[in-house]
Amino acid sequence: AEESVQHVFSECPFTHQILQELNVLFLSSNRRQLENMGPNFYTWGPPSGDVMKANFDATFYQGTKSATTGILVRNNKGFVMAACTYPFEHDANSTMAEARACLRALIFMEELGF
């Protein structure tokens, strides 16, 4: 799905949580400047050269403190070379779920020899 820069910095709860944990103050003047930029949409692009690119995401379930991670690996032509999902239990929050998703993606790529 396409997301705008405005969404990432002014609406995305994950970004807000990261910025709060890093003690970053997002001033209202920055928000106005961002809104004046207009929407910029970015879409996935294949990697250059003979490498693989892994995209990952995590969904966190507050009630059960569990998460599910999805990983998709594509080549430089955009073809899916591997994909998987991993369930996790005992995650403290969505930040931990995203961090575990990143780690799991790296391990997955290493296991496949990418």
Q: What is the pLDDT of residues 33-46, one digit of tens each?
A: 656 666 666 677 88
What is the C-alpha separation between 103 and 54, in angstroms, rounded?
A: 12
8 or 65, higher pLDDT: 65
Q: What is the pLDDT of residues 53-96, one digit of tens each?
A: 999 999 888 889 899 999 999 999 999 999 999 998 888 888 88
SS3 state at 66: strand
Q: Which two tokens stand for residue 94?
A: 């969505």
| Domain residue ranges in the chain | 3-42, 53-111
| pLDDT score, position 4 | 65
What is the C-alpha separation between 17 and 21, in angstroms, rounded?
A: 6
Amino acid occupying residue 113: G
Containing 81, the helix (H) or strand (E) segment is strand 80-88
Q: Token match 């998703």: residue? A: 101
pTM for this entry = 0.61
